[in-house]
Amino acid sequence: MQQHTILLVTIIIMACVALPFLFAASAAKDKGPQVGWLGYGAQRSLVAAMLVVGVAVTGISLAVWPHSVSAGPARQVVNVTGHQWYWEIEDVRLVTGSPVVFNVHTEDVNHGLGVYDADFRLIVQIQAMPGYLNQVQYTFEKPGKYRILCMEFCGVAHHDMTSEFTVSAAKS
Ligand SMILES: [Cu+2]
Protein backbone atom coordinates (compact mmCIF):
# COMPACT_ATOMS: atom_id res chain seq x y z
CA MET A 1 0.00 0.00 0.00
CA GLN A 2 2.75 2.41 1.02
CA GLN A 3 4.73 1.50 -2.11
CA HIS A 4 1.74 2.38 -4.31
CA THR A 5 1.43 5.76 -2.61
CA ILE A 6 5.14 6.43 -3.10
CA LEU A 7 4.87 5.40 -6.76
CA LEU A 8 1.87 7.70 -7.30
CA VAL A 9 3.59 10.66 -5.59
CA THR A 10 6.74 10.02 -7.67
CA ILE A 11 4.77 10.00 -10.92
CA ILE A 12 2.99 13.25 -9.98
CA ILE A 13 6.29 14.98 -9.09
CA MET A 14 7.90 13.71 -12.33
CA ALA A 15 4.96 15.10 -14.31
CA CYS A 16 5.31 18.48 -12.54
CA VAL A 17 9.01 18.57 -13.43
CA ALA A 18 8.43 17.44 -17.03
CA LEU A 19 5.62 19.91 -17.82
CA PRO A 20 7.77 23.10 -18.04
CA PHE A 21 10.25 21.26 -20.27
CA LEU A 22 7.48 20.04 -22.59
CA PHE A 23 6.06 23.58 -22.66
CA ALA A 24 9.46 25.08 -23.50
CA ALA A 25 10.10 22.46 -26.20
CA SER A 26 6.73 23.08 -27.87
CA ALA A 27 7.17 26.88 -27.67
CA ALA A 28 10.61 26.70 -29.30
CA LYS A 29 9.56 24.35 -32.08
CA ASP A 30 8.68 26.94 -34.75
CA LYS A 31 11.62 29.29 -34.24
CA GLY A 32 14.30 27.19 -35.97
CA PRO A 33 17.84 26.65 -34.59
CA GLN A 34 18.81 29.19 -31.95
CA VAL A 35 22.47 30.08 -31.52
CA GLY A 36 23.29 31.51 -28.12
CA TRP A 37 25.84 34.26 -27.43
CA LEU A 38 28.50 31.56 -27.06
CA GLY A 39 28.01 30.12 -30.53
CA TYR A 40 28.41 26.46 -31.47
CA GLY A 41 32.24 26.50 -31.41
CA ALA A 42 32.40 27.76 -27.85
CA GLN A 43 29.75 25.27 -26.76
CA ARG A 44 31.79 22.43 -28.22
CA SER A 45 34.94 23.62 -26.41
CA LEU A 46 33.00 23.89 -23.17
CA VAL A 47 31.66 20.33 -23.49
CA ALA A 48 35.17 19.05 -24.33
CA ALA A 49 36.64 20.89 -21.31
CA MET A 50 33.95 19.47 -19.01
CA LEU A 51 34.67 15.99 -20.36
CA VAL A 52 38.43 16.34 -19.72
CA VAL A 53 37.87 17.71 -16.19
CA GLY A 54 35.27 14.99 -15.44
CA VAL A 55 37.56 12.17 -16.56
CA ALA A 56 40.53 13.65 -14.66
CA VAL A 57 38.58 14.11 -11.41
CA THR A 58 37.11 10.59 -11.68
CA GLY A 59 40.50 9.04 -12.46
CA ILE A 60 42.33 10.81 -9.63
CA SER A 61 39.62 10.18 -7.03
CA LEU A 62 39.25 6.49 -7.92
CA ALA A 63 43.00 5.76 -8.19
CA VAL A 64 43.25 4.81 -4.51
CA TRP A 65 40.70 2.00 -4.96
CA PRO A 66 40.52 -0.89 -4.48
CA HIS A 67 42.49 -0.84 -1.23
CA SER A 68 44.67 -3.92 -1.20
CA VAL A 69 44.64 -6.31 1.73
CA SER A 70 48.03 -6.40 3.44
CA ALA A 71 49.75 -9.72 4.00
CA GLY A 72 51.57 -8.90 7.24
CA PRO A 73 51.62 -11.32 10.18
CA ALA A 74 50.08 -8.67 12.47
CA ARG A 75 46.70 -8.73 10.76
CA GLN A 76 43.57 -10.20 12.30
CA VAL A 77 41.05 -12.15 10.26
CA VAL A 78 37.33 -12.44 10.93
CA ASN A 79 34.87 -14.41 8.80
CA VAL A 80 31.44 -12.85 8.32
CA THR A 81 28.51 -14.56 6.62
CA GLY A 82 25.24 -12.93 5.66
CA HIS A 83 21.95 -14.79 5.88
CA GLN A 84 18.32 -13.75 5.45
CA TRP A 85 18.17 -12.09 7.94
CA TYR A 86 21.12 -12.15 10.30
CA TRP A 87 24.87 -11.88 10.36
CA GLU A 88 27.06 -14.74 11.45
CA ILE A 89 30.29 -13.27 12.79
CA GLU A 90 33.17 -15.48 13.77
CA ASP A 91 33.95 -15.06 17.46
CA VAL A 92 37.41 -13.52 17.22
CA ARG A 93 38.97 -11.24 19.82
CA LEU A 94 39.76 -8.11 17.84
CA VAL A 95 42.20 -5.49 19.06
CA THR A 96 43.05 -1.95 18.06
CA GLY A 97 46.09 -0.90 16.10
CA SER A 98 46.56 -3.81 13.70
CA PRO A 99 44.64 -4.43 10.48
CA VAL A 100 41.45 -6.49 10.61
CA VAL A 101 40.58 -8.37 7.45
CA PHE A 102 36.87 -9.12 7.03
CA ASN A 103 36.25 -12.17 4.84
CA VAL A 104 32.69 -11.55 3.72
CA HIS A 105 30.41 -14.15 2.21
CA THR A 106 26.69 -14.87 1.91
CA GLU A 107 24.70 -18.09 2.00
CA ASP A 108 21.70 -16.74 0.06
CA VAL A 109 21.24 -13.32 -1.58
CA ASN A 110 23.35 -10.17 -1.80
CA HIS A 111 23.86 -8.32 1.47
CA GLY A 112 25.89 -5.25 2.32
CA LEU A 113 28.17 -5.31 5.33
CA GLY A 114 28.35 -1.86 6.87
CA VAL A 115 30.41 -1.30 10.03
CA TYR A 116 29.49 1.71 12.18
CA ASP A 117 31.40 3.25 15.07
CA ALA A 118 29.96 4.40 18.43
CA ASP A 119 28.86 7.72 16.86
CA PHE A 120 26.99 5.72 14.23
CA ARG A 121 29.39 6.84 11.54
CA LEU A 122 29.95 4.40 8.67
CA ILE A 123 33.62 3.43 8.75
CA VAL A 124 33.87 0.46 6.41
CA GLN A 125 31.57 -1.36 4.03
CA ILE A 126 31.65 -4.18 1.50
CA GLN A 127 29.20 -6.29 -0.49
CA ALA A 128 28.43 -9.87 0.51
CA MET A 129 27.80 -11.77 -2.72
CA PRO A 130 26.74 -15.37 -3.39
CA GLY A 131 29.64 -17.38 -4.78
CA TYR A 132 32.28 -14.80 -3.83
CA LEU A 133 34.52 -14.19 -0.85
CA ASN A 134 35.00 -10.43 -0.61
CA GLN A 135 37.68 -8.94 1.60
CA VAL A 136 37.99 -5.56 3.18
CA GLN A 137 40.58 -4.37 5.63
CA TYR A 138 40.30 -1.81 8.38
CA THR A 139 42.47 -0.84 11.33
CA PHE A 140 40.42 0.08 14.40
CA GLU A 141 41.98 2.88 16.42
CA LYS A 142 39.39 3.11 19.20
CA PRO A 143 38.31 0.23 21.44
CA GLY A 144 34.60 -0.29 21.96
CA LYS A 145 31.45 -1.67 20.41
CA TYR A 146 30.96 -1.50 16.66
CA ARG A 147 27.66 -2.07 14.95
CA ILE A 148 26.93 -3.94 11.75
CA LEU A 149 24.00 -3.07 9.52
CA CYS A 150 22.95 -4.59 6.23
CA MET A 151 23.34 -2.02 3.45
CA GLU A 152 21.66 -3.95 0.64
CA PHE A 153 17.92 -4.43 0.63
CA CYS A 154 17.56 -8.20 0.96
CA GLY A 155 13.91 -8.84 1.81
CA VAL A 156 11.19 -8.16 4.35
CA ALA A 157 13.36 -8.35 7.47
CA HIS A 158 16.35 -6.52 5.96
CA HIS A 159 16.07 -3.80 8.64
CA ASP A 160 16.57 -6.47 11.32
CA MET A 161 19.96 -7.50 9.95
CA THR A 162 21.96 -5.80 12.66
CA SER A 163 24.73 -7.14 14.82
CA GLU A 164 27.68 -5.91 16.80
CA PHE A 165 31.18 -6.82 17.85
CA THR A 166 33.72 -5.49 20.30
CA VAL A 167 37.23 -4.26 19.67
CA SER A 168 39.54 -4.30 22.71
CA ALA A 169 42.50 -2.06 23.35
CA ALA A 170 45.75 -3.67 22.27
CA LYS A 171 48.18 -4.37 25.11
CA SER A 172 51.24 -2.23 24.73
CU1 LIG B 1 19.78 -6.52 3.84
Above 90 in pLDDT, residue 71?
no
Q: How far is the CA of 153 from the centre of ligand 1 (A)?
A: 4
DSSP 115: E
Q: How far is the CA of 17 from the centre of ligand 1 (A)?
A: 32
Same domain, 164 and 85: yes
Q: What is the pLDDT of residues 105-144, one digit of tens each?
A: 998 999 999 999 999 999 999 999 999 999 999 999 999 9
Question: What's the CA angle centered on 74, arms 166 and 137, to 5 degrees?
Answer: 60
Q: What is the pLDDT of residues 21-70, one digit of tens each?
A: 998 888 877 666 666 666 777 878 889 999 999 999 999 988 877 666 76
Which sign does the torsion angle of CA 77, 137, 80, 166 carry?
positive
Closest CA to 101 of 71, 129, 81, 130: 71
Q: How far is the CA of 139 from the centre of ligand 1 (A)?
A: 25
CA separation for the pair 70, 102 (Å, rounded): 12
Q: How far is the CA of 78 from the centre of ligand 1 (A)?
A: 20
Q: How far is the CA of 158 from the centre of ligand 1 (A)?
A: 4
135 inside domain: yes
Same domain, 86 and 159: yes
Same domain, 82 and 158: yes
Same domain, 100 and 154: yes
Could you give the 3-state DSSP secondary structure of residue 27? Answer: helix
Q: How far is the CA of 38 from the centre of ligand 1 (A)?
A: 50
Same domain, 56 and 91: no
Number of domains, the chain: 2
Same domain, 103 and 129: yes
Same domain, 94 and 42: no
Same domain, 53 and 96: no
Q: Which domain holds residue 49?
A: 2-27+37-62
Same domain, 101 and 156: yes
Q: How far is the CA of 61 from the centre of ligand 1 (A)?
A: 28
Q: How far is the CA of 165 from the centre of ligand 1 (A)?
A: 18
- pTM equals 0.61
Same domain, 83 and 159: yes
Q: How far is the CA of 149 from the centre of ligand 1 (A)?
A: 8
